[in-house]
Amino acid sequence: MRVAAYEGYRTLRFERRGRVLRVTIDRPEALNAVDDDMHEDLSRVFDEINRDQACDVVVLTGAGKAFCAGGDARWLQSMIDEPDRFRAIAPAAKRIVFGLLELEKPIICRLNGAAAGLGATIALMCDIIIAADTAVIGDPHVRMGFVAGDGGAVIWPQLIGFARAKELLMTGEMVPAERAERLGLVNYVVPAAELDARVDAMADRLASGPTWAIRWTKTVTNIPLRRLAHELMDTSIAYEMMTNLTADHREAVAAFRDKRKPRFTGG
pLDDT in tens, 221-262: 999 999 999 999 999 999 999 999 999 999 999 999 999 999
- In this predicted structure, which of 60-64, 111-115, 168-172, 253-257 has the lowest mean pLDDT? 253-257
Q: What percent of the chain has pLDDT over 90?
A: 98
pLDDT recorded at residue 4: 86
The predicted structure's pLDDT at residue 23: 98
DSSP structure class, residue 163: H
Check whether 217 has a pLDDT greater than 80: yes
Instruction: Kindly state the average pLDDT of the residues 203-221.
Output: 98
CB within 8 Å of 57: residues ≥ 6 apart: 19, 20, 21, 105, 106, 107, 108, 203, 206, 207
Q: What is the pLDDT of residue 49?
A: 98
Query: How confident is the model over 153-166, as a mean pLDDT?
Result: 98
Give the pLDDT score at 31. Answer: 98
Q: Taking Cα atoms as reference points, which of 104, 100, 116 lies closest to residue 67?
A: 116
pLDDT band at 2 (very low <50, low <70, confident <90, very high): confident
**Res. 3 pLDDT band, cuts 50 70 90:** confident
Give the burial string for 117-128 (b: 16+ CB within 10 Å, else e): bbbbbbbbbbbb
Residue type, 204: D
Mean pLDDT for 147-155 is: 97
Q: What is the mean pLDDT of the chain?
A: 97
| pTM score, whole prediction | 0.97
Domains for the chain: give ranges and CATH numbers. 12-194+205-258 (3.90.226.10)
Alpha helices by DSSP H, the chain: 36-50, 73-81, 84-102, 118-124, 152-160, 162-171, 177-183, 195-207, 211-221, 223-243, 247-258
